[in-house]
Amino acid sequence: MITKREIQSTLFKVGSLTLLFSLAACSSSKNGTDGNNSGVEGYNPYGNYSPASGQETNFAALINRYADGKPDHQTWANTYWPYNATTKDGIATTAFATGGMSPAEKFDKAYGCGSQAASWERVYHSPSPPNIKPVPVAGWYGHCNGWSASASLYPEPPEAITVNGVTFSRADIKALMTEIGMLVDADYFGHPVQQFSANDQRTVDDIYPDQFFMVLTNYMGIHRYGINIDRYTGDEIWNQPLVAYKIDYPKPSDYLGADPAYPNVYRIQVTTHLWWADDSANPNDETPTFDYTYNEPYFAGRDFQAELWLDGPVAFDSDGHITSSGNLVIVPQTGAPGGTSWYLGGTWLGQAADDMVDGHPDFMWVPYAYLDASDTSDTGPNAKLDANPYVDHTWVVDHFYKNVGDDVGGSACAASAPTPSASPSPSGSLSGPPHR
């Protein structure tokens, strides 16, 4: 079976990132429209492109087989465990506590060995963390990326599990799974709109519709992998794990034919419906079975209209069924943030194009592996600031998903974690605030 890395290497991704500081918060925005396409030297919305290999790019094949899709398990609703003054302190909050202890405090007690997860959380995932300016942090700062990663990688946790004499509720387990998801390897598509800086219009406009369509249909449609999106078009970041997508089957009237200015590019309009697990649920709740409705606070979603670009014509039979088409067009253009490229193809329509809050997704990403937060040698100092280095991802998964039982001696000693510093020095190699 083709691997995610093989898919992403041909899907024109921005990069395979260690997702950490750039996706960690959920904050106030500016409109993000500083760029101007017309001012980009040599800008051509179609440009020259090379067909990708290793994944399906043919529009007819994808729309006929994968017009809808779900991941291999249903993603689950949660809170985003905010840093803000209302709930505060991330997974050290007692807002959803059972037995008077926060999820981080329960972890420290069960894990033993001098674990300081709760005290670390109160410093770095607090309303005024020392590594984030300005403070207090905006209300959307929190753990939305960690929750999205784990909800895409693992099914919803059970109601309660007792480990080493400590009973963890469903909310406690969701909190710990969220924390270990703060540092993952992932395939990443699109460029986040940045706060406090000018953004090229192409950064505002991506992820572009052709790449959006290909990621949905290849990753989730064909392979049933979990996909996360930043649903906020502008410079706040609200990561959400997708529950499902459905693309309306195009009618002959949706086919616009060749572009008069670019006769080798053929256009077809599509409407895509996305649903995601919501972040306003009580984490103690069991997420209901998804039934393709907007069932808040568990599920939310949005519709997206777009014009896709193909390199050949679309043919319909007398029943309105697409019998053949060209391949989706993806146009790489260099000069994007971090030395990467923008990947143009298609254009958003209506609200998806014009709304900087509820328009098109800002970016998409597919997580595939947790990383050890206590080992920052290959990820820079931000790792020990955004991902709690005391929460052992192997221990969490083993005890809550593999049912390994109590630890010998009632605790599990691991390598010492970094001691929190009152004066951290983040590297800044990954830009942008944490996200919800």
Q: Report the alpha-carbon distance of residue 89 to residue 102 in Å, rounded.
A: 10
Listed in sequence order, the DSSP H helices in 201-313 are: 201-205, 209-215
* Whole-number average pLDDT of the chain: 82
The one-letter amino acid at 339: G
> Per-residue confidence at 432, pLDDT binned at 50, 70, 90?
very low
Is the confidence at residue 199, as pLDDT, over 80? Answer: no
Average the pLDDT over 400-416 and give the result.
77
| Nearest one of 371, 302, 153 to 241, comparing CA atoms | 153
Which residues, other chains included, contact 306 with Cβ-Cβ below 8 Å and sequence gap of 6+?
Answer: 209, 212, 213, 269, 270, 272, 346, 347, 348, 349, 352, 360
Which residues, other chains included, contact 57 with Cβ-Cβ below 8 Å and sequence gap of 6+?
Answer: 51, 214, 327, 328
Is the confidence at residue 434, as pLDDT, over 80? Answer: no
Report pLDDT digits (tens) over 136-182. Answer: 888 889 999 999 999 999 999 999 999 999 999 999 999 999 999 99
pLDDT at 36: 26
- Which helix (DSSP H) or strand (DSSP E) does residue 145 occupy? helix 144-153
pLDDT at 3: 43
Please report, rounded to a whole number, the percentage of residues in the chain having pLDDT higher than 70: 79
113 close to 150: Cβ distance less than 8 angstroms? no
Is the C-alpha dihedral spanning 200, 201, 207, 209 positive or negative?
Answer: negative
Is the confidence at residue 51, as pLDDT, over 50? Answer: no
Is the confidence at residue 127, as pLDDT, over 50? Answer: yes
Q: Which residues pair with 101 in a beta bridge?
A: 98
Is the confidence at residue 109, as pLDDT, over 70? Answer: yes
131 close to 141: Cβ distance less than 8 angstroms? no
> Per-residue confidence at 338, pLDDT binned at 50, 70, 90?
confident
CA angle in degrees (0–180, nearest 5) for 424-430-431 = 90
User: What token pair was written down for 177?
Assistant: 């799974």
Please report, rounded to a whole number, the percentage of residues in the chain having pLDDT higher than 90: 57
pLDDT at 285: 97
pLDDT at 29: 29
* Cα-to-chain-centroid distance, residue 319: 38
Is the C-alpha dihedral spanning 228, 232, 234, 239 positive or negative?
Answer: negative
Q: Report the alpha-carbon distance of residue 12 to residue 192 in Å, rounded.
A: 16
Domain boundaries, the chain: 1-436
